[in-house]
Chains A and B, each alone.
Chain A
Amino acid sequence: MAKPQDCGNCKKPATIHLTQIINNQIKKLDFCDDCPHQKGVTDPEGFSLAELLANGPGATEDQTTDSTNSCPSCGFTTVEFKKTGQFGCPECYETFRDTIGPMLEGMHRGQTHAGRVPQRMLTRVNRRREIERLSRSLDEAVTEERFEDAARYRDELKQLNETLAGDSKESEENADK
Chain B
Amino acid sequence: MQIRPILEAETELTDRSHAPESVVLSTRVRLARNIDETPFPSRANKSQRREILARCQDAIAGLKMMQKGSVLEMQNLSDPEKQVLVERHLISRELSNDKGESGVIVSRDQSCAIMINEEDHLRIQVLRAGYNFKGAWKVIDRIDTGLEDKLDFAFSPEWGFLTACPTNLGTALRASVMLHLPGLVMASQMEKVVRAVNQMGIAVRGLYGEGTDASGSIFQISNQQTLGESEQDIIKRLTGVLDTVIEQEQNARQKLLENAAPKVLDKIGRAFGALQNGHLLSSAEAMNLLSLIRLGVDFGLLPENERRSVDKFFMTTQPGHIQIISQGDLENSDQRDVERARVLREHFRGLAPLDFDTLEKT
Contacts and interface: CB of A to CB of B under 8 A. Distances in A.
Interface of A: 73-74, 76, 84-91, 93, 100, 103-104, 107-118, 120-122, 124-125, 168, 171-172, 174-176
B191 to A, nearest CB: 24
Given A89-B39, A120-B149, A121-B149, A109 B225 contact: yes
Contacts, number: 119
27 contacts: A74-B39, A86-B165, A87-B165, A88-B42, A89-B37, A89-B38, A90-B37, A90-B154, A104-B166, A108-B170, A108-B228, A109-B225, A109-B227, A109-B228, A111-B228, A112-B227, A113-B156, A113-B157, A113-B159, A115-B229, A115-B231, A118-B153, A121-B155, A122-B155, A171-B149, A175-B64, A175-B146
B272 interface: no
A90 B34 CA distance: 8
Contacts of B201: 109
Interface in B93-128: 119
Given A108-B228, A112-B158, A113-B171, 14 more contacts: A87-B40, A88-B39, A90-B38, A90-B154, A91-B37, A93-B156, A107-B167, A108-B170, A108-B226, A110-B229, A117-B155, A117-B157, A121-B152, A168-B149
A24 to B, nearest CB: 27
Nearest to A100: B166
Contacts of A109: 201, 225, 227-229
Q: How large is the interface on B (under 10, 10 to 19, 20 to 34, 35 or more residues)?
A: 35 or more
Interface of B: 34, 36-40, 42-43, 62-64, 119, 145-146, 148-149, 152-160, 162, 164-167, 169-171, 173, 201, 225-231, 233
A84 B42 contact: yes
A89 B42 CA distance: 9
A162 B47 CA distance: 34
Nearest to B172: A115
A171 B148 CA distance: 10
B165 A85 contact: yes
A118 B172 CA distance: 13
- Please indicate which of the listed interface residues A74, A86, A90 has the most CB atoms of chain B within 10 Å of its own CB: A90
A104 B43 contact: no
Contacts of B167: 85, 107
Nearest to B167: A107
Contacts of B171: 113, 115-116
Contacts of A104: 166, 169, 227
